Amino acid sequence: MIEKWAIRQRALDRYLALALLCLFAIAWVTPLAIVALSSMKTPREQSQSGILALPENAAMILDNIASASELSGIGNGILSSLIYAFVGSVTAVIAASSAAYSIAMLKIRFPFFWFLIIYSGTIFPFQMYLMPLFGLYQTVGLYDTRFGMLLFYSAITVPFCIFVFRNYFIGMQGEVIEAASLDGASSFQTYLRIVLPMAKAPALFLFVTQFSWIWNDFLFGQVLAKSDDVRPVMTSLAMLSGTYGKGSIPQQMAGALTASIPTLILFFALQKHFMQGIILNTAGE
């Protein structure tokens, strides 16, 4: 009797929790609705109707996207940003995973020191990189080049990656060394054939997050480059906003929505690999 009641109670609890979670999820996405609804309005409608009021004509979003991309010249930036975000994050993942491999699994002296050196790239406020890099880039001729942008984006994303990989590899140590010694593989073969495939999940997770970071950067894109075909997409898009900007609020929102599409697609495409695939180092202790 009591047991049955307990079971029913537990089921009730579960539904209650679920209901609460749903409520939470609705509250969670409400701010997103602001973006979506605003992007479907005319500038005047945006000012005169409530922020969560439904748009008069949802198809307005197409006009807004069209005018946003025309005003900001977003087209130039998309290709550059795709290159930066893709190549930059792949470079960072490779450089960081190989460094973390060396730090966590190979015999080097002062591994923690090397780790700190590379990791210290994250502990410095990003805005302080602006002026030294601006000066350096102008002196060495990297200013306003795609290569320069790519170098920067790779460098800035390495430290976070190395942190995740190191923690992951330290947990993997035992298995890898075992597998490798059975094969008689060289250290490079071990890295390529054993370590990397095993690290597929964190690598994909890092790829997605660092891709988003690079894709969303506008500050460095603005200071380290000046021409339309070198500057990244967010720098172009930012021209719409602000007091001195070109665009209306609906155009800004439509632009922001459009610009999130690539990161959104990437997240959905890779989500199941890193959400379920990571066999994590629980042996890190």
Q: Which is nearer to other proteins, 58 or 108 (CB)?
A: 108
Segment contacting other proteins by CB under 8 A, of 55-63, 79-87, 126-134, 174-182: 126-134
Q: How far is the CB of 255 from other proteins (least distance, A)?
A: 9
Mark 207-243 as b/e (b = at least 16 C-beta within 10 Å).
bbbbbbbbbebbebbbbbbeeeebbbbbbbbbbbbee
190-209 residues near other proteins, rule: CB under 8 A? 191, 201, 205, 209
Establish if 64 lies at the interface with other proteins (CB under 8 A).
no
153-182 residues near other proteins, rule: CB under 8 A? 154-156, 158-160, 162-164, 167-168, 170-171
Establish if 36 lies at the interface with other proteins (CB under 8 A).
no
**280 φψ region: left (φ > 0), alpha (ψ -120 to 50), beta (else):** beta
Nearest CA to 77 among 211, 235, 209? 235
The full DSSP string for 202-264 is HHHHHHHHHHHHHHH--HHHHHS--STTTS-HHHHHGGGSSTT-SS-HHHHHHHHHHHHHHHH
Establish if 267 lies at the interface with other proteins (CB under 8 A).
yes
Establish if 117 lies at the interface with other proteins (CB under 8 A).
yes
Establish if 76 lies at the interface with other proteins (CB under 8 A).
no
Establish if 135 lies at the interface with other proteins (CB under 8 A).
yes
| Paired tokens of 280 | 């994590």
Q: How far is the CB of 63 from other proteins (least distance, A)?
A: 13
Identify the residue among 8, 16, 48, 79 touching other proteins (CB under 8 A). Answer: 48
Q: Which is nearer to other proteins, 132 or 197 (CB)?
A: 132
Nearest CA to 119 among 151, 156, 85? 156
Establish if 276 lies at the interface with other proteins (CB under 8 A).
yes
Establish if 129 lies at the interface with other proteins (CB under 8 A).
yes
Burial class (CB in 10 A: 0-12, 13-18, 19+), 173: middle
Cα separations (Å) of 118 from 95, 130, 147, 162, 164?
Answer: 11, 19, 21, 8, 12
Identify the residue among 8, 11, 28, 183 touching other proteins (CB under 8 A). Answer: 28
Identify the residue among 7, 12, 19, 32 touching other proteins (CB under 8 A). Answer: 32
Q: How far is the CB of 49 from other proteins (least distance, A)?
A: 8
Establish if 245 lies at the interface with other proteins (CB under 8 A).
yes
CA separation for the pair 225, 235 (Å, rounded): 10
90-109 residues near other proteins, rule: CB under 8 A? 91-92, 94-96, 98-99, 101-104, 106-108
Establish if 112 lies at the interface with other proteins (CB under 8 A).
yes
Residues in binding contact with other proteins, number by CB under 8 A: 126
